[in-house]
Every structure is written in structure tokens, then in C-alpha cells.
Chains A and B, each alone.
Chain A
Amino acid sequence: MTAKQWSSDWMRAALGLCVLRTLAAGPTYGYAIAAALEESGFGQVKGGTLYPLLTRFETAGWIAVDWRVGAGGPERKYLSLTDAGRREFEAQTIAWRDFTGTVFAHLDSIDLPSTAAPKGTDES
């Protein structure tokens, strides 16, 4: 898939939900989340954007952390959705669909109210 550069405002708005969606598939780790998002067409998600978000989710109790330690020391920090995280994901998904539906409805509307000022209204 070709790397696409989305508007940073859009990415900021959608990234949290998309990360929750990635985690909903099962326990995973930071780099795998970034790779999955890139694979889905979001472009490269930098660690400096991803980890503060994951830390916020952890503080909110939406994700649980499990360090799977190997013989040579710490290896991977596996993250998984908690029950609260799953509920949050479902709630945010419904809200997002509702919001994007509203956006699409507005974009596809045939009878848009005219934004142009009616002629003569500013003439007294």
C-alpha cells in the first residue's frame, strides 16, 4: 500500500480510536501497532505520537500491560484491552460512526442551504 500523508488534524482525531481497534484484535506491542496502522493506510505513526497515547490509555485503565520477559532481560511490553477499554472502544466506535454519518450526510446533501448572502440585503 502506498504511504499516504493524512492531515495531522484528522490523524489526531482518529488515531486513538484506531489504536483501540488494533488492540481489540488481541494483545500486541508498540511497534506492531504502528506497523498495523501503516498497513491499514494511515502512513507512518511515530513512536513519539503512539506511546504518549498508549500511556494515557494505560492511565485511564483502558489497556493492561504485560512484560513478557525473556532469558536476557525484558523483551516486549504486550498491551491488551481491559473490559473498560473494550467498552470505551465500542462507545467511541458508535460515536465515530454517528459523527462520520453526519459528515457524509452533509457532504452528500443535494439541497444545501445557500451560503451566499442574498443580493441587496446589505443595501439599506
Chain B
Amino acid sequence: MTTTIRENEKWLEILTIELRLLDVNGTRIGDAVATAREFLDDSGERAEDSLGSPQHYAAELNLPATPEAAQGVRRALVRSGFGVLGMFALVESVVPLMNDEPVTLGPVVLAIYLVALILIALLPSLVPVMARMRRRGVIIGIVTAALLGGTIPALLALWAGDRVLLSLPALPVAIVGAVLLVAPALWGQLRHSVTDDPIIAPGSTPSPRAAFRARLFLVVTNWLLVLGAVGLCAMRLLLETLTR
């Protein structure tokens, strides 16, 4: 019985994710989840047996999508694109700035950054796939690999030699990079995009704990690139020190 309750709670969690992926608003999600929970409590059945898979059930409910959801994704994408450009600029300029040299970019580094930007453009398609990967270890692995991937250009630049496609003064590049990196994070922070649409159970208001978790999630996701940039700059400086 306890196993059934635990399995059902897990099923309801996945249903919430599936409905979010379908851009259903928080109030409707809260209603759908409470309705399913009520039925499962009454029947004592396993959710998978009674309601089917969460993905199929969410699709069958055919709840209307929030009209502004697609627009929100596009805006987030533009913000992420600027943020990543800023991170690249800052990471590439930190060592030249320290050595009072221009920022130089070779073909390999430019190609890698281009691929990274393409990956960001594909994020709306990748996020649902990652969200449906139930194993958090895999997701953490992908994110860690992506962050560590930022050090690859430094290693490849060493390997590719002196061929330079682009040479720019370090200070303006660093300033523009910092602005592009921090401005989207600040904008996202002020917009409160997650707390705009919390999941609300029928007849209740969002709990302070849930609101705190939502805010924490918002802060972490907004400042992830900034934190990543700080980490990558530190790695660049460390590599520079080691190779001297």
C-alpha cells in the first residue's frame, strides 16, 4: 500500500512536468493533479494501471496551453544567447587583459562557439527531452559536460597554434562581455518569470515553502551563466599560470 502511494506520488510529479511541457498554466495543473490524486485515493489503484502513463494522460486531457508561453520561451532564448555570448567574450578576454594583450580567436575556437550558439537555439527541443530523462545523474552529467566544454577552446587554442582570425582589444571585449552576461540575468531576476505562474492546488494559495523554492530555482537558473563564467575565468587563469 505504501509502495502504491509512493509510486502514485512519483506519477503525479511526472504528470506535473508533462503538463508544464505542454505549457498548461499553474492553476490548471494544480486542478488536474488534485483531481488525479483524489481519484487514486478513492480507488486505491496504481496510477499507471488506472490512468495510464503520465505523458499519455497529460496529452489526453488536452488542456489549453498558455498563449504567452511560446513568447516566454523565445525571450528566454534571446536572453540565454546574449548571456552565452557575454560569457564567451569574458572568458576569452580575461587572460589577454591580465597580460595586456589583444584578444585573439582562431578558427577552432570560433567553430566551437558557433556550435554552442546553435545548441542554445536548439534548447526548446532539448529541454523536454532532458526533463523526461528521469535520472537526475544524466542531466547533471550533461550540464557538467557542457560547462567543462568551455575549457576545451583553451586547450584546442594551444594545439591549433598561432593562426588568428580575429584580434580585438581586451578591455572593450571584457566590458561588453560583462554587460551581455550580467544584463540578461538581472532582467530575468526582475521579471520573476517562474513565480508569475505557480502551481496552485484548488482552494489554496502557494505555500511559503513552495514560493521560496520557486524563488531559489529562479535565482540559480538566472545566475547560472554568471557562475559558470566566473568558474571558467578562474580555470583559464589557472591554465595560464600552469603553462607559463
Residues of chain A at the chain B interface (Cβ within 8 Å): 29-31, 34, 46-48, 51-52, 55-56, 59, 65, 67, 69, 73-77
Residues of chain B at the chain A interface (Cβ within 8 Å): 31, 34-36, 38-40, 42-43, 45, 49-52, 56-57, 60-64, 201-204
Chain B nearest Cβ from A45, distance in angstroms: 10
Q: Does the CB pair A30–B35 fall under 8 Å?
A: yes
Q: Does the CB pair B34–A77 fall under 8 Å?
A: yes
Q: What's the Cα separation between A56 and B63 when bound, in Å?
A: 9
A-B contact pairs, 23 of them (CB 8 A): A29-B42, A30-B39, A30-B42, A46-B50, A47-B40, A47-B43, A47-B45, A51-B36, A51-B39, A51-B57, A52-B57, A55-B63, A59-B64, A67-B34, A67-B203, A69-B203, A73-B204, A74-B201, A74-B202, A74-B203, A74-B204, A77-B31, A77-B202
Q: Does the CB pair B203–A48 fall under 8 Å?
A: no
Q: Does the CB pair B203–A47 fall under 8 Å?
A: no
Q: Does the CB pair B35–A56 fall under 8 Å?
A: no
Q: Does the CB pair A31–B61 fall under 8 Å?
A: no
Q: What's the Cα separation between A79 and B63 when bound, in Å?
A: 17
Asked whether A51 and B38 contact (CB < 8 A) given A73-B201, A74-B203, A74-B204, the answer is no
Q: Is the interface of B mostly helix, strand, loop or mixed?
A: helix
Q: What's the Cα separation between A75 and B34 when bound, in Å?
A: 8
8 nearest A-B residue pairs (beta carbon): A31-B42, A69-B203, A67-B202, A52-B60, A48-B52, A48-B51, A74-B202, A47-B50
Q: What's the Cα separation between A52 and B61 when bound, in Å?
A: 5
With both beta carbons as reference points, the residue of chain A lying nearest to B57 in the complex is identified as A48
Q: Does the CB pair A47–B34 fall under 8 Å?
A: no
Task: Pick the most buried of B35, B51, B201: most chain A CB atoms within 10 A of its CB.
Answer: B35
With both beta carbons as reference points, the residue of chain A lying nearest to B43 in the complex is identified as A31
With both beta carbons as reference points, the residue of chain A lying nearest to B203 in the complex is identified as A69
Chain A nearest Cβ from B65, distance in angstroms: 13
